Amino acid sequence: MKHIIKPIKLLVLLLCTGFLINCSDYLDVVPDGVATLDNAFSNRTNAEKFLFSCYNMLPNQNDPYTYPGNMGADEMWYHNNHSARSGARIARNDQNAADPFHNYWDGRRDGRNLWIGIRDCNIFLENIERVPDLQAWERVRWESEVKFIKAYLHYFLLKLYGPIPIVDVNLPVNADPEQVRVFRDPVDSVINYVVNLLDESMINLPDRIEETSTEMGRITKPIAASVKAEALVWVASPLLNGNPDYANFKDKRGVQLVSNQHDNTKWERALVAIKEAINICHENGNALYRYRRGFEEMSDKTFLKYTLRGAVSERPMQNPEIIWAHPAFQNTNQFQNYCTPRFSTFSSWGGISEIGATLKVAEQYYTNNGVPIDEDPSWNYSKRYEMRRDTGSFHQYYISKGEITANVNFYRESRFYAHLAFDRSIYEMLAQKESESIVIKSRSGDPNGIVFSESYIPTGYFIKKLVSFRSGSSTTSATPWRFSIPNIRLADLYLLRAEAENEVKDVPDNDVYQWVDSIRLRAGLEGVVDSWSKYSNIPGKPTTKEGMREIIKRERLIELAFEGKRSFDLRRWKDALKYLNEPIQGWDIQGVKPEEYYQVNTIFNARNFTTKDYLQPLWTNTIIKNSNLVQNPGW
């Protein structure tokens, strides 16, 4: 039964936090600052402001500081002057229960209180019918959008914390203390609630955005279907599907919060949802992105680099691959700035070079034959850190002719050169003629090398993927091209499809291969079966379930690199113990000569990711205030 909220003030108890929302917490949707339900839903204009307040609670993947998937793992690394930010602190083993970083439960330490967002969604849904000048078709659309947001906030909390309380309705202001002290709900109950809400939302969501100038970023049916698919993959994955580490994870009533029995039907359910999502996306025009040539002349290799960068940095109106991107662009400009070299070519803009890719991520990309560098007999893995001078035609559009760089940067796949920039590599921007390409020179004393204590990348690898090639609009000036890092793009769904197909089958077949191969074909590679049979020292790897699982995982780590996916994927796969305990390494950026620069430098080695770190801790104060909440295992 829904609780009645008195239409006097927006003072509503947030049952999950175990304590009252402060009296100053109101929605600033009324000009005079008096936030009453009568005002908030008195007309369409005010109700729309309330709707956008709900949208504003969606976690922002464009923010390098506040989004948990960006900086807390092993993919990107700040220099030491940014080590106080939450992601950097988590990556340096400083997460704790006394005052957790990226606290999305209570809204602390670079986190946001998502329960407030859920509360606001409930208020909206319970009051939207009061708006007198809102047309019926628009009301049901807005309701569907808010149901999606409410479902997504529950799902995001589940990804961080595992079992969470379900907040279907808000409690009245006169709720007694026992009603406020709620329990966490089992993961299976939470996912069923999320999926049901998403199904409800899809009924009246639009298939696509027609008014792109005013509504881009609003929720559509393909977005809801894709999030449903991703959410079901999460609970089918090893972390929350029969994980023996959570065999005794129970609340104070003895209720099991994470199932301790593996259930492969969860993968079957996820596969059905993924198929539905892909069909809906295809019906509405989503397709893998390919760069459209203009009047500029370029080689096929450069064209492919534009395609592989543009899959992320092109805006949705020019990019049919993007299913959902956060509508806030502002933080992406900051992200770009941190990843961009200092371009002396452009007088008005150059990056400040503070976030770099780690050496291990550079090594994860395939050879030009499409297999891992330690599986390709034609690629000298044991001498990958030695130096060589470019003398061949293969690297004409990748590495400056005649320059010296490390072996690990030679004969790699196109995504390596599209996603990363390194010393003596070519950095393509639309403002530049191909014959006058920018060459990165990042040894100490070079134009793109370390200059002062707050402007350098610590690893030697620039993240080119998060810098739009359109940011260079002329040869004399440039500004960051505004775009949103995709929350979900079609390549992500294709790889989830391959993963789910592989998990429900005893032996992989074309239903598994085709979805990976479509991504590889776009990247200029052969299919997995042909690549491994021709070029790998483990030719039968794609023919086994376990081998194909490893290939799919690596394909996700490569294709979706730097998009906020890796940290979450490593956790749901239960692979983080392996990856996140390895040292963070790069080149010796203080080196002046090649033989000084190309020395492997260990930047951080005191890594200590343990089983407890797979789920975020609840703040100790929250558990004290609500004694019915149990802490996550190990904390």
- What is the number of other CB atoms lying within 10 angstroms of the CB of residue 475? 14
SS3 372: coil
Q: Which residues pair with 585 in a beta bridge?
A: 602
Token reading at 224: 């809801």
The structure's pTM equals 0.93
Task: Report yes or no: 415 and 523 within 8 Å, Cβ to Cβ.
Answer: yes
* Nearest CA-CA partner of 117 in 40, 236, 43, 21: 21
Residue-level pLDDT at 336 = 84
Residue-level pLDDT at 12 = 36
Token reading at 414: 């196109």
- 488-509 pLDDT tens trace: 999 999 999 999 999 999 999 9
Q: Which ranges of 384-457 would DSSP assign to H, the alpha helix?
A: 414-419
Residue-level pLDDT at 79 = 77
* Nearest CA-CA partner of 16 in 139, 114, 160: 114
Task: Report yes or no: 238 and 164 within 8 Å, Cβ to Cβ.
Answer: no
Residue extent(s) of CATH 1.25.40.900 domains in the chain: 488-573
Residues of the chain where predicted confidence (pLDDT) is lower than 70: 1-35, 80-83, 329-332, 344-351, 452-454, 472-479
Q: How far apart are CA 231 and CA 190, in angstroms?
A: 10
Residue-level pLDDT at 210 = 86
Task: Report yes or no: 475 and 368 within 8 Å, Cβ to Cβ.
Answer: no
**For residue 452, which phi and psi values (nearest 5 degrees)?**
-145, 175
Assign domain 488-573 to its CATH architecture: Alpha Horseshoe (1.25)
Residue-level pLDDT at 353 = 81
Q: How far apart are CA 319 and CA 223, in angstroms?
A: 15
Residue-level pLDDT at 4 = 32
